[in-house]
């Protein structure tokens, strides 16, 4: 399956994986804002990677 993985470079860890089938890029951006805002406030670099698992 294809996933979108939210990854923080500063923390060097994955913040979550979401099935691409059910989560659009827009939805992922909402999740980042809602659930991972602390990383953004601290100026961390967050990327969304596509992974196959
Ligand atoms: Zn972080």
* pLDDT for the residue numbered 20: 95
Q: What is the pLDDT of residues 4-33, one digit of tens each?
A: 999 999 999 999 999 999 999 999 999 999
Yes or no: say if 21 and 15 are a contact pair by the CB < 8 Å rule: no
Taking the centre of ligand 1 as the mean of its atom positions, its distance from the CA of residue 43, in whole angstroms, is: 8
Averaged pLDDT for residues 45-53: 94
- How far does the centroid of ligand 1 lie from the alpha carbon of residue 39, in Å? 4
pLDDT at 37 over 90: yes
At residue 53 the predicted structure's pLDDT band, cuts being 50, 70 and 90, is confident
CA of 3 to the centre of ligand 1 (A): 20
- Å from CA of 33 to ligand 1 middle: 13
In this predicted structure, what is the pLDDT of residue 29?
Answer: 95
- Report the C-alpha gap between 34 and 53 in whole angstroms: 25
Quote the ligand 1 centre to 14 CA distance (angstroms): 9
Helix count and strand count (H, E) for the chain: 2, 3
């Amino acid at each position: 399956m294809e996933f979108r993985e939210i990854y923080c470079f500063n923390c060097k860890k994955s913040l979550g994986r979401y099935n691409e089938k059910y989560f659009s890029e827009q939805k992922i951006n909402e999740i980042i804002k809602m659930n991972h805002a602390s990383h953004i406030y601290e100026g961390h670099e967050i990327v969304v990677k596509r992974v196959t698992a």
